Structure 1
Amino acid sequence: MEARDHQEIDRRQRVILIHGLSGNRWVLGSLNRFLTRNDYRTTRWCYRSVGNSVMNHARRLKAFLEEEVGSTEPLHFVTHSMGGIILRAVLADMNWQRPGKLVMLAPPNHGSRVAAMASRGLHYLCPALSDISTAPDSLVHRLPVVDSLDTGVIAGTQDLLVHLESTYIANQADHVLVPCGHNRILRHPESLREILYFLKHGHFTEAAHRVVATASTRGVMV
C-alpha cells in the first residue's frame, strides 16, 4: 500500500514557487496548500531578498535548477513580483528545455516606480531595488523574455507597487487581472483559480478579466 501511494505522489507534476522582495516561505503558504490539494508537488524556493542583487539570487537559483535540467518531466513555476525577474535572469543563462508552464504574479517586467524611488536611499542596503526599477539601464530592461516556458501573467487591479503596464511581457500566452493588491494576489481566490487553470491548460479561464495591450513608444505594453 505504501509503495502504491508513493508512486501516486511521484506522478504528480511539480511546481516551484518563488516569492518576491521581502518575502519568505510563509507568504507562499496559501498558494502552496492550494496547489498541493489539487495534486501538484510543490517546492518553495526561498532566499534572503534584502541585501543582495537580483543576479546574486539568480546564481543560487541556477545552482538549484541545474539538478533539474536533465529530466523530461514537466516542471512548472509560479513566481511573485521580483521572483519572476530572478527566474528570467536564470533562464536567460541556461539552455532550459524541460517542459512546463510559468505563471508570473504581479511581475515588474518593465520595472517598478516604487522601487525606483526607494533605490535612491536604500540601494546599498538592497541592491535589488535598482535592478527592478524603471530606470532605462536597470536589469529588467536588459533581460530577454523567457521563451522556453508557456507564460501567463496575473496582475492586480489595486497594485500600488507594480503598475499594470509593467506586468506585460512580449511572449506571454495570456494576461489577466484580479481585483486585489500586490501581496493579496498570492492568495486571492480568483488568482488561485486562474493559476490552477493555466497550469492545466496553458491559458486562463474565459471568464477572467482581460485588458487588451498595445505597445507604447517606450516598448512597454499598455
Structure 2
Amino acid sequence: MGEKVFLIHGFNKGAADMYPLEHFLSQMVYDCITLSFQLRFHHFDEAASVLQSLLKEKIRDGEKVYLIGHSTGGIVIRKVLSDPECAGKVSRAVLIATPNQGSGLAGAAHLIRPFTLIYKTLFSITPAYMKKYTFAVSNVEIGAIAGDHAGLLLGKMLRQRNDGRVETASVWMPEMKDFLILPYHHKQIHHQPETAKLIHRFFQTGSFH
C-alpha cells in the first residue's frame, strides 16, 4: 500500500464527489481514504471533530498522512490542523477551491433567512463568520488550487473573478506554501487528471511548480 491520503468533500456533497480524484491518485499508488461528512445542516466544526478523532485513533505515532479538501472540505482541514496532535500526523495538505476568506454566495444566502438557519454549513463559511473565526497556524505545508472558469449560473452573482461558486481571490491565504489557478469551474476542478498530478507534485516536493 502507498502513502495514505484522506479526501474531504465539500458542502452538500458526499464521498462519491471525490471518487474521480481518488481514482487518479490510486493510480499513483496512494492509499486513498474517501470520507462522507454532514456538510449541509451542520457547522463545519462537526465534520472537523470527526476527522480529528479519526486521525488520533487510526493513525499511529510516527505515521504521516496527506489531506485533500474540496471547497468547504478545505475549511474542515484547516480546523483539524489547528489541533497540534492532528497536525503532527499530517505531512502536507491541499485545498481545492476552498473559500478561505469566506464565500460570497453563502453571504448572499444568509440574507435570505431562514436559508442559513437550515443549511448551517453555509452560515459557517460566510465572509462575516470567517473573519471572526480563528484558525491556529500549524507547521503543516498547505497548497491551494483555485479555479477561474465561471461557467456556472450562480457565478454570475459574483462580481469578482470566480469559479462559478467561489471567488478566486478567496482561495488564497498568506500562510500557504504554494498557490495555483486552473481554468476550471467549481464542480469540475477536482475531477481533472491535471489536478491530481499537481497534488502529487505538491505532496512529494512542497510545490506545484
Q: TM-score range by the shorter chain?
A: 0.7 to 0.9
Separation in 2 of the partners of 1:27 and 1:126?
Answer: 19
8 Å CA contact 2:21, 2:193 repeated in 1: no
The match for 1:153 among 139, 144, 154 is 144
In 1, distance between residues paired with 2:91 and 2:131? Answer: 23
Name which structure has the greater RCO, CA cutoff 8 Å, separation 6+.
2
Q: Distance in 2 between matches of 1:68 and 1:118?
A: 37
| TM superposition shift of 1:141 | 4.4
Provide the residue aligned with 2:169 in structure 1.
Answer: 165
| TM-score of the aligned structures, taking structure 1 as reference length | 0.81
- Determine if contact 2:105/2:166 at 8 Å carries over to the other structure: yes
Question: Are the structure 2 counterparts of residues 73 and 180 from structure 1 closer, same or farther at C-alpha, using a change threshold of 3 Å?
Answer: same
SS in 2 for 1:123: helix
| Map of 2:127 onto structure 1 | 134
- Kindly provide the amino acid, as one letter, of the partner of residue 35 in structure 2: W
Size of the alignment, in residue pairs? 193
Distance 1:32 1:146 in 2: 27
Please state whether the residue corresponding to 1:28 is helix, strand or coil.
helix
C-alpha separation between the residues in 1 aligned to 2:172 and 2:205?
A: 20
CA distance in 1, matches of 2:119, 2:88: 32
Amino acid at match of 1:39: V
Aligned pair partner of 2:37 in 19, 24, 47: 47
1:105-134 CA-to-partner distances (Å, cap 9, x unmatched) read 011110010011112331121111111111
Of 85, 107, 124, 2:75 maps to 85
1:123 aligns with 2:116: yes
Instruction: Name the CA distance, whole Å, in 1 between partners of 2:148 and 2:207.
Output: 19
The CA RMSD measured in Å over matched residues stands at: 1.6
Any stretches of 5+ residues in structure 1 without a counterpart? 1-8, 206-222
| Bigger helix fraction | 2
Question: Match for residue 38 of structure 1?
Answer: 28
Amino acid paired to 1:194: L
1:19–1:27 contact (8 Å) kept in structure 2: yes
Match runs of 1:57-206 below 5 Å: 57-68=47-58, 70-95=60-85, 96-120=87-111, 121=113, 122-135=115-128, 138-139=129-130, 141-144=132-135, 146-158=137-149, 159-205=163-209
The structure whose Rg is larger is: 1
Q: In the alignment, which residue of structure 1 is the partner of 2:154?
A: none
